[in-house]
Amino acid sequence: DIHMTQSPSSLSASVGDRVTITCRASQSINSYLNWYQQKPGKAPKLLIYDASSLQSGVPSRFSGSGSGTDFTLTISSLQPEDFATYYCQQSYGVPLSFGGGTKVEIK
Amino acid sequence: EVQLVQSGAEVKKPGESLRISCKGSGYSFSTYWITWVRQMPGKGLEWMGWIDPSDSYSNYSPSFQGHVTISADRSISTVYLQWSSLKASDTAMYYCARSKGFYSGNDYWGQGTLVTVSS
C-alpha cells in the first residue's frame, strides 16, 4: 500500500500570508496526486488534480506542484475562507490513500 | 447540475445490518466511478473502495474488504454501501464521491451520511 505523509499537521497563518503544505508518498506515484479542502461539517472539495491542474471554479491563488514522491500545495495569499483542513490523496494505486491532513488556522 | 444525494443519518445497534445510498443526477451516471470514503469523528479521510456502475466492477481497501459491500443499480442511478453486522467502530460519517476513472480525483461529493452504532 502507498502511504501518504503530510506536513505540517497544523499551521497558524494570517490573511495575506503565503502558505505551503507538503505531501510525500512512500513510493513514486507519477503525478497522480490530488488536493482537497474540507471545512467543518462539510464534504471535501477537490482543489488540484494530477498534481498541478486547477479544478474548475477554484481560485488561482491555489497551486500544486511536484511529481514522483514529493508534492506541494501553495496558497499564494491566504484568504479568510481558506481556513480549513487540507488533504492530499494518491490515485496511482489501489487502495487509494489520503494524507493525514493539514489544519490551517488563523493566527 | 451534478448532484450526489445521500440517504439520511442512521442510528443502529451493534450486530444490525445497514444499507446507505448515494443517488447521482445531472450527469451520465454510468460513465463515472463512485467511491466511498469514511471519516471517523475528529479524524481524517479513509478510502474504502469504489465501483464502476457500468459493469458493477468494484474494488476495496484491505481495511474494509469483507466488512462492507458496494453495489450499484444503474436503473435508478444509485450506489449503495452496506454492512451485514455493524460494530461500534463503524460510527462515522460516510461520503460518496465520483471520479472519471482510476487515476482521477473526486470532483463531486455527496453531503455525507452519519452512521451511529451504539448499544
The residues that bridge with B44 in the sheet, in sequence order, are: none
* Cβ separation A98–B105 shorter than 8 A: no
A62 contact B CB<8A: no
pLDDT of residue B38: 98
Computed over every residue of chain B, the mean pLDDT equals 97
| Three-class DSSP category at B72 | strand
B42 contact A CB<8A: no
Residue-wise pLDDT tens digits, B52-97: 999 999 999 999 999 999 999 999 999 999 999 999 999 999 999 9
Q: How long is chain B?
A: 119
B102: chain A residues, CB-CB within 8 Å: 91
Rounded-to-integer distance, Cα B91 and Cα B41, Å: 8
Rounded-to-integer distance, Cα A66 and Cα A51, Å: 6
Contact, B3 vs B24, CB < 8 A? yes
Query: CB neighbours of A94 closer than 8 A, spacing ≥ 6?
Result: B59, B61
pLDDT of residue B99: 95
Ordered mean pLDDT values, 10 residues apiece, chain A (107 residues): 98 97 98 98 98 98 98 97 97 96 95
* Cβ separation B102–A38 shorter than 8 A: no
* Cβ separation B102–A55 shorter than 8 A: no
Mutate to test the interface with B, among A1, A96, A98, A103 (most CBs of B within 10 A): A96
* Of B59, B107, B112, Cβ closest to residue A46: B107
- For residue B74 the three cell numbers come to 444503474
Tell me the mean pLDDT in the region B15-23.
Answer: 98
Chain A and chain B share a number of CB contacts under 8 A equal to: 63
Give yes or no for residue B102 having a pLDDT over 90.
no
Contact, B90 vs B28, CB < 8 A? no
- For residue A3 the three cell numbers come to 502511504
Of residues A99 and B103, more confidence is placed in A99
* Cβ separation A87–B44 shorter than 8 A: yes
pLDDT of residue B66: 96
pLDDT of residue A107: 87
Sign of CA dihedral B104, B109, A106, A5: negative
